[in-house]
Structures are given as structure tokens and as C-alpha cells.
């Protein structure tokens, strides 16, 4: 940057095209245009031409200003930069740097700058502290939020796991119950089959015993009826030449009346009926079931 044109005393041409100030540490291009050293170097970082006439230009071709031009420039009168702090010194541009280095009012500006820097530092500390507090608060809030989210996710995961666990246990229990039910059904079928077989065998056995008992009772009944009929029609006469008082074939039975014969038949019938009722297989045969129903 050049010298501020407002500090120059007297008439001066318009400032440079780059910084609009008076030359400071000037350099000259081959096209004889002069620029502040700082300004032209900054320009050539982004451009490769002269700011005045746009001719090609690079840093390697820059050279110091012509002596006569530099002498004219050094004769310009300029005010001290500490004028605002009480220095009214006006000197040539050539000696301004030496004066400002030894200016007694420089410390005032430095003190003001230091005070400004201290105030700025205090403000900076306050801002940093506020930022740290806000960051700490935000950090705490974020941590609280994350903890809540994590707890919710944890609770949800536990609930889902518990549901899956219960569902799995129920399914396993259902499978076990189904297997047990199937085994029980198979066992019941086998037991029913065995029971039916045993009942069929027992029924056949009882039926056979029943038929045998009935046949025997029928035979006894038939024999008894025949004997009664023989007694009713009378015993056969003994053959001639037999001894008196002896009967043929068997001892002479006592004489029975018709009433006594009927009573004997009734007693025989009751005896047969009693034997049927006392039969141990009566409940398993059709005859016994009919009697029980009657």
C-alpha cells in the first residue's frame, strides 16, 4: 500500500490506479509505469499484465524507479501519522520513516492501540467464555437427548426381544402340546384297539359259555319234563314172575298229585331262572342285558 494522499501537503498528481495512494517503495515496469512494490506484487499474483495499459508483465521484469523520478518523489512533504495524537511534524517523504520511528507521540498511539487490544482481548475472553458456556449447555442438552433416544431404543429393543422370546416359547409349547396330543391320540387308539379286541374275545368266550349253559339247562329241563310226563302217565307194569313189592328198573317213587306236579314244575322253573340270574357272565350277553332292562 502507498502513502495516504490525504497526508501529502501541497499539490500532487492523482494516485496510483491500484491503491489510489502515493508511491511507497516504488517499482517500474518496462512500459515505464510505476507502482507500489506491495501493490504490483499482489496484482501479478492473479494477473499477468500491466494495470495501466494491459501489456504483458511479470515480476522478473520489474526494476527500481528512475533516479530523477525517485528524487522528485522524495521531495514531497508529508504529515506524521501520529498527527491525531498531537504530532504536527511535516517533513519530506524521504525522511518520514526516520521521524515516525523517533516520534515522541508514537507511544500515545501505541498506548491507545494497546488499550484497544486489551479491550478487544477482554471482549474476546468474554465471547469465548460465553461460547464455551453455550457449547457446554448445548453439549449437555445433546447428551440428554442422546441418552433419551438410546434409552428409548434400548426399551424398544428389549420389548421386541421379549415379544419374540414369548412368541418362540409359545410356538415351542404349541409344538410340544401338539406332539403330546398326537402321542396321546395314538396311545388312545392303540388302547381302544386293544380294548376292543379284548372285549370281542371276551364276548365270544361269554357267548360260547352262555350257549353251553343254556344248552345244558335245556337238556336238564327236557329231561325233567320227560320224567314228569312218565310219572303222569304211570309207571310201567312189572313183568310176570317178578317179586311182589319190587318195581321194574328203579325204586317206586311216591305218588304225586296234579297240584304237587305243578308245584314241582314251578320250583324247577324258578331254579333255572335263579341260575341264569346268578350267571357271572350275565351282563356281557344279550340275554342278560334284556333281563336287566326288563
pLDDT at 245: 45
d(CA 64, CA 40): 12
CA 136 and chain centroid, separation: 34
pLDDT at 250: 47
Q: Do residues 70 and 22 lie in contact, with contact meaning Cβ atoms separated by under 8 Å?
A: no
Distance linking the first and last C-alpha atoms of the chain: 140
Predicted TM-score (pTM) of this structure: 0.33
Q: Do residues 25 and 41 lie in contact, with contact meaning Cβ atoms separated by under 8 Å?
A: no
> In this model, does residue 249 exceed pLDDT 50?
no
Whole-angstrom CA distances from 59 to 16, 18, 27, 50, 109 are 18, 16, 10, 11, 36
Portion of the chain with pLDDT greater than 90, in percent: 7
Helix boundaries (H) for 78-105? 96-102
pLDDT 10s digits, 175-192: 888 888 888 888 888 888
Q: Do residues 16 and 36 lie in contact, with contact meaning Cβ atoms separated by under 8 Å?
A: yes
Q: Report the SS3 class of residue 243.
A: coil
d(CA 7, CA 75): 14
pLDDT 10s digits, 95-130: 888 887 888 777 665 565 666 777 888 888 888 888
Number of residues that make up the chain: 294
Fold type of domain 5-104: Herpes Virus-1 (3.30.40)
Going by pLDDT thresholds of 50, 70 and 90, the confidence category of residue 17 is low
Q: What are phi and psi of 63, to 5 degrees?
A: -140, 165
| SS3 annotation, 60-76 | HHCEECCHHHHHHHHCC
CA 141 and chain centroid, separation: 27
Mean pLDDT of 278-289: 53
Pairing of strands 26-28, 8-9: unpaired
Amino acid at each position: 500500500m502507498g502513502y495516504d494522499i490525504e497526508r501529502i501537503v501541497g499539490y500532487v498528481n492523482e494516485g496510483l490506479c491500484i491503491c489510489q495512494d502515493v508511491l511507497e517503495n516504488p517499482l517500474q515496469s518496462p512500459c515505464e509505469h510505476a507502482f507500489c512494490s506491495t501493490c504490483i506484487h499482489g496484482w501479478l499474483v492473479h494477473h499477468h499484465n500491466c494495470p495501466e495499459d494491459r501489456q504483458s508483465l511479470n515480476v522478473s521484469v520489474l526494476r527500481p524507479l528512475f533516479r530523477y523520478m525517485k528524487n522528485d518523489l522524495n521531495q514531497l512533504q508529508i504529515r506524521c501519522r501520529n498527527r491525531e495524537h498531537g504530532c504536527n511534524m511535516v517533513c519530506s517523504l524521504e525522511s518520514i520513516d526516520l521521524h515516525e520511528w523517533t516520534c515522541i507521540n508514537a507511544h500515545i498511539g501505541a498506548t491507545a492501540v494497546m488499550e484497544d487490544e486489551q479491550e478487544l482481548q477482554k471482549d474476546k475472553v468474554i465471547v469465548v467464555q460465553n461460547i464455551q458456556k453455550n457449547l457446554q449447555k448445548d453439549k449437555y442438552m445433546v447428551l440428554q437427548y442422546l441418552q433419551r433416544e438410546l434409552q428409548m431404543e434400548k426399551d424398544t429393543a428389549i420389548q421386541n426381544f421379549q415379544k419374540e422370546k414369548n412368541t418362540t416359547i409359545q410356538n415351542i409349547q404349541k409344538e410340544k402340546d401338539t406332539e403330546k396330543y398326537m402321542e396321546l391320540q395314538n396311545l388312545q387308539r392303540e388302547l381302544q384297539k386293544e380294548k376292543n379286541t379284548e372285549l370281542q374275545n371276551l364276548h365270544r368266550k361269554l357267548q360260547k359259555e352262555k350257549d353251553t349253559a343254556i344248552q345244558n339247562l335245556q337238556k336238564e329241563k327236557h329231561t325233567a319234563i320227560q320224567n314228569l310226563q312218565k310219572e303222569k302217565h304211570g309207571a310201567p307194569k312189572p313183568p310176570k314172575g317178578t317179586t311182589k313189592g319190587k318195581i321194574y328198573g328203579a325204586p317206586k317213587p311216591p305218588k304225586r298229585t296234579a297240584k304237587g306236579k305243578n308245584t314241582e314244575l314251578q320250583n324247577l322253573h324258578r331254579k333255572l331262572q335263579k341260575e341264569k340270574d346268578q350267571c357271572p357272565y350275565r351282563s356281557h350277553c344279550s340275554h342278560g342285558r334284556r333281563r336287566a332292562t326288563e
